[in-house]
Amino acid sequence: MIRIALMFLALAGCSKNKTERQLYEDETSGFIYTTYKTSSLVTVGAMVKVYNVQRPDSIPAIRPEYAHALLGYMWAVAGKPVMAFAEASILEGNPDEEMQFLASSLRSITMYQHGWNALAKQEADRGNGLLKRSSSSNIKTEATVFYLLVAIAKMQEGKFDEAKLYWAGFATQTGIDWPYALTDAAADLRGGQPQRGLQKLKVISQDPAVPEPLRVELAARLTTLEAHTGNVNSPLFWPNLISAAVLAELKRTNNEGIGKLVKMVEDVKKKLS
């Protein structure tokens, strides 16, 4: 019995000593990863084929890669990194540089969410290197704007954990990571963990990488927040920069193809869950 306990302790110690790269390789070499990747290739391919055959002439056909990309983001939002990494790998199988960038972007966001910040930065840099050789150099700008808008929209909805995903993408593209840290603190405050949230806010308020006006505002509000930790409706956490959630707008858009694509990918996700 003692030997078994010592063996588990040794294994736990080895896991703690592993590098981010080794931890990533562990997650992308297991049975679940391999099985899911095979299932996703078959299921997405079949459903996209049916979708393209049944679509009306007014809606353009879609490429399976875009369905895989959207599905990967959905898995990342759901906190399923193994599935998200598998979708990134599927995207990477396409030699098109745009798909290579999307794969790298999805992988780096998932790594960032996982706490592997150094590895996420390396992956983002690798993806950005692909853009330098591509004529589609505006992809990075479009991705950055997309992450920014959706992150703000999610915060307006009060969905801080989902907002963190998009701030992670914003951070990997711009190197500006304080919005992610601020949203993480706000999530703790709203989620019933005020002490942890306040500790994070104190760190942010003293971080020279954070713009000075924001640091001053944070420092001024910390006293109030400490006295009234339930006041999570403060403008500090509800940036009124846009009037409607981007994803909600996409569902109401006149572009019928977008709505149908989202629904189709959600159906795929349910089948693979």
Task: Specify burial of residue 147 (Cβ count, 10 A radius: 0-12, 13-18, 19+).
Answer: buried
> What pLDDT sits at residue 24?
94
- The values of phi and psi at residue 28, to 5°, are -105, 20
Walking along the chain (273 residues) 10 residues at a time, the average pLDDT comes out as 48 67 93 95 92 83 84 83 95 85 84 84 79 54 66 71 85 79 85 82 84 77 59 36 31 52 73 80
List the structure tokens of 37: 């990747």
CA distance 64 to 45: 6
> What pLDDT sits at residue 225?
61
> What pLDDT sits at residue 87?
95
> What pLDDT sits at residue 73?
80
> What pLDDT sits at residue 185?
85
> What pLDDT sits at residue 115?
82
> What pLDDT sits at residue 238?
31
CA distance 81 to 272: 14
Cβ atoms of 64 and 44 closer than 8 Å: yes
- Rounded to the nearest 5 degrees, what angle is found at the Cα of 179, between the Cα atoms of 174 and 182? 155
> What pLDDT sits at residue 129?
76
